[in-house]
Structure 1
Amino acid sequence: MTVQKLVLYNSHFCPYAARAVIALAETQQAHEVVPIDLDVPRPQWYLDDINPYGQVPALKVDDKDIVLESLFVAEYVADLHPESGLLPKDPLQRAQTRYLIHHWGARTQPAHQKATFTLDPTEAAKYREELVVELQKFNKLLLGAHKLDSDADGPFFFGEKFTFADLNIAPFLGRFFLLDQYNGNKAITKESNPELERFFEWKEAVVSRSSVQKATPSQETLTAKYRKWLK
């Protein structure tokens, strides 16, 4: 498949849009970027021509076709470049990839959001403990990753290779530090929670990836941005 032109509609602060940014970086896919300011109403041209819901990311292909939703944009980019190895070929690994992403979005990330953005200290502390329980479950999923004989040992979900599962959760791992920024919550660390050793090994490897770092604003910028939103 030959793609003549890709245009990404992106907001640098949106973790969902960052999925597309990371996929484009990992595949070294040429593209243009149109910034979309999420702090103001979307321009009418964006609603009419790109995404009627006003969300990012959106990807325009060859000046005519539109791909919406972060998972599908990232998957489309990965499909353009099978040589990148982002999408596992093994059916079981693909199924585990889908479930890991689903589980994070349906269970782990909501628990992190409640613990982070609940301003009442008592409620926040309760949600923090619920988050620890969810992370313990997620840690088991990481330990249960199906490895092929050809997979070298490494810190990512399937070992040495950075793949689609790591990519799609990466933007949220880059915001994990926000847990103790607003409500007096204590950070969750591998020293205080040794049962989460695999989770922290994985998280540290993912957030250290150069493509992830380039797609993630600084901690100072993110802290100020979310504090403004909370007010």
Structure 2
Amino acid sequence: MAAPKITFYTNHGCPWAHRAQITIKELGLPYEEVIIDLTKPREPWYLKEVNPRGLVPTIKYNGEIIAESAVVSQFLADAHPSHLIPPTGTPENALKRARIQFFADTWATKAGSYWFRIALLDTEEEKEALVKEFVGVVAKEIEPLLSDAAPFFGGSDKLTLAEVLTAPFVLRIYEFSKADVLPKSLPEGLNALPNFAKWAAEVVKHESVLYVWDAEKIVPATKAKFASLKADAKAKA
């Protein structure tokens, strides 16, 4: 099978684009990278020819445009069968796929937004209250789903699509807490959950998760972004 022609429109600071970046790295696919500056309005060519929503990631795959991080990641994993997710065709594989999708959906719908909300709060009291709530949600919803991680989801010794879709956010939780973007009590609380702590420790040091991560650039840019969002919120209040 000939290698596909992939143009990857991305931004290394975006956690959503990071999902697709991990997928491409794990699959070993060649690609042309186009960095999209998210700090200014999108260029007309991008809105017209690539993604009218102006978002990343988007890929052009053999001439076809595919957008949205979960869709891009799922498409690439299905188009290039690997350890990320089993192929369709048997009840056993269908069950494994369903469990991966349920894990990713649980993170996104139950836990995924907490770190962002915590970072936008002003007082330590407010932050600590939401940290406690977040850790409680992870304990209830995520911790049981990682009971057989070895070290990755579902007993896999390699990354799965479950990690692809959650790793960018888990990494940021741990890295941002080191720089006081998030309270240090957040990783401390998560590390008290044995299944999550063991799994997360492997996720955040994986080569495919880290290969476009540049803390020296991403952390200050994120701090500035949150400061701007807070200032805008106060101005509108």
Which TM-score bucket, shorter chain as reference?
A: 0.7 to 0.9
1:204 aligns with 2:204: no
Which has more helix, going by share of residues?
2
1:103 aligns with 2:106: yes
Alpha-carbon distance, 1:53 to partner: 0.5
119, 128, 139: which is aligned to 2:122? 119
Aligned in 2, Cα 1:214/1:183: closer, same or farther, shift over 3 Å? Answer: closer
Contact 2:51 2:58 in 1 (8 A): yes
Alpha-carbon distance, 1:193 to partner: 6.0
Cα displacement string for residues 36-85 of structure 1 (whole angstroms, at most 9, x for unaligned residues): 000010000000010000000000022x3100101111112112221x22
201, 217, 231: which is aligned to 1:221? 217
Stretches of structure 1 lacking an aligned partner (at least 5 in a row):
146-152
| Residue equivalent to 1:149 | none
Aligned in 2, Cα 1:59/1:95: closer, same or farther, shift over 3 Å? Answer: same
Contact 1:119 1:182 in 2 (8 A): no
| Residue equivalent to 2:163 | 166
Alpha-carbon distance, 1:4 to partner: 3.7
| Residue equivalent to 2:233 | none
Alpha-carbon distance, 1:112 to partner: 2.1
Contact 2:23 2:73 in 1 (8 A): yes
Stretches of structure 2 lacking an aligned partner (at least 5 in a row):
88-92, 228-237
CA–CA distance in 1 between the matches of 2:211 and 2:121? 29
Matches within 5 A, 1:22-61: 22-61=22-61
CA–CA distance in 2 between the matches of 1:184 and 1:68? 30
The 3-state SS of whatever aligns with 1:174 is helix
Matches within 5 A, 1:79-98: 79-82=78-81, 84-89=82-87, 90-98=93-101
TM-score (norm 2): 0.85
Alpha-carbon distance, 1:189 to partner: 4.3
The 3-state SS of whatever aligns with 1:175 is helix
Aligned in 2, Cα 1:128/1:186: closer, same or farther, shift over 3 Å? Answer: same
1:157 aligns with 2:161: no
CA–CA distance in 2 between the matches of 1:183 and 1:73? 29
Q: How many residues align?
A: 219
CA–CA distance in 2 between the matches of 1:44 and 1:69? 19
Matches within 5 A, 1:125-164: 125-137=128-140, 138-143=142-147, 154-159=150-155, 160-164=157-161
| Residue equivalent to 1:73 | 72
CA–CA distance in 2 between the matches of 1:184 and 1:78? 32
CA RMSD across the alignment = 2.0
Alpha-carbon distance, 1:186 to partner: 3.3
Aligned in 2, Cα 1:67/1:129: closer, same or farther, shift over 3 Å? Answer: same
CA–CA distance in 1 between the matches of 2:163 and 2:182? 29
TM-score (norm 1): 0.87
CA–CA distance in 1 between the matches of 2:84 and 2:200? 17
CA–CA distance in 1 between the matches of 2:138 and 2:111? 7
Alpha-carbon distance, 1:136 to partner: 0.4
